[in-house]
A = this chain, B = another copy of it.
Amino acid sequence: MIELEHPTAHGRSRASSALPREIVVVGSVALDNVETPFGRVENALGGSATYFATAASFYAPVKLVGVVGDDFPPEHVDFLRQRRVDLAGLEVIQGGRTFRWSGRYEYDLNTAHTLDTQLNVFAEFSPKLPATYRQPGLLFLANIAPELQRAVLEQIERPELVALDTMNFWISSRRDALAEVMRCVDVVLINEAEARQFADTYSLLGAARTILELGPKAVIIKKGEYGASMFTDGEHPGETYFFAPAYPLETVKDPTGAGDTFAGGFLGALAREPVLDTAAFRRAIVHGSVMASFTVEDFSVNRLRALTPDEIGRRFAEFQAFTQF
């Protein structure tokens, strides 16, 4: 476990590790049909691991674990390779079909209306980590069944930091298993409705405390257009609470993947931090907000295709300006 207050308290010596750390992500790779008031796409590159890996690849080497069918378009593989994402852990099932999701958003882009879900090869997903993946610096367990998240932890040497995401489906159907895996991670990323659902309270502070009591050092609650809050252990809100606003965009074209690219920017930025203390977490949350803000400017990962480090740096500076007083 990382120690937010005492950042050196970890078995592996940081001094001997070269930055940036390697990141492993386990999650879905999908083909999405998405419709919003601003347009639509079909068979677009999607999935939690895809969004995460694309965003994180701007910061650090990323190794992806996932599964697709043999219908998965080669241009999507090419794109991820161009982003230098290691695909040794991407299983291709011959004769299988890739996970497909169809959704629609209204003007209120906060809620996805699922039109169709075809799990296909993802229904039988059983993450198998290649030998080269087994000593990552950072691990992201994207939104998959908590039992699979647990199974991944059993295949690797304990990374310096493990973060997980989840969703309402697992909270409803596998709450105990989810709580078990939360006990084993350092950071829980969760959206606000899910946090309230998990803790059965309206109070986000109360929900965060419920999760912190399980063991994680930090809970990051994602609020979509309202930004993100981080809660860490302690008594005084001034030390244990951090808030980053969302970027004020005139138009959000497609919110799909915002949460996963947030996680990608967050872990990506942490991969470059010498010390994983609270200050590093705060900067990383802002990088998460930066990457999510770019992602929602276009469908799929399209806005990230031409994104430059300069643009990331400029937007990070804008976030600083937004909150200074």
Binding site for B on A (CB under 8 A): 107-109, 202-206, 223, 226-227, 229, 231, 236-239, 241-245, 247-251, 279, 282-283, 285-286, 317-318, 320-325
Choose from B202, B250, B320 the contact partner of A203 (Cβ within 8 Å). B250
How far, in angstroms, from A318 to B241 measured CA to CA in the complex? 9
Contact B323 A283 (CB under 8 A): no
Q: Which residue of B lies closest to A287 (CB)?
A: B325
- Which residues of B lie under 8 Å from residue A229 when comparing CB positions? 245, 248
- Which residues of B lie under 8 Å from residue A202 when comparing CB positions? 107-109
14 contacts between A and B (CB under 8 A): A109-B202, A205-B249, A227-B245, A229-B248, A237-B248, A237-B318, A238-B317, A238-B320, A241-B321, A241-B322, A242-B323, A242-B325, A243-B245, A279-B325
The distance from the CB of A254 to the nearest CB of chain B, in whole angstroms, is: 14
Contact B237 A241 (CB under 8 A): no
How far, in angstroms, from A229 to B285 measured CA to CA in the complex? 19
How far, in angstroms, from A190 to B64 measured CA to CA in the complex? 46
How far, in angstroms, from A248 to B237 measured CA to CA in the complex? 8
- Which residues of B lie under 8 Å from residue A283 when comparing CB positions? 325
Given contacts A205-B249, A231-B248, A238-B320, 17 further A-B contacts (CB under 8 A): A107-B202, A108-B202, A203-B251, A204-B248, A223-B226, A226-B227, A227-B243, A237-B247, A238-B317, A238-B318, A238-B322, A241-B248, A241-B321, A242-B323, A244-B325, A279-B325, A323-B323
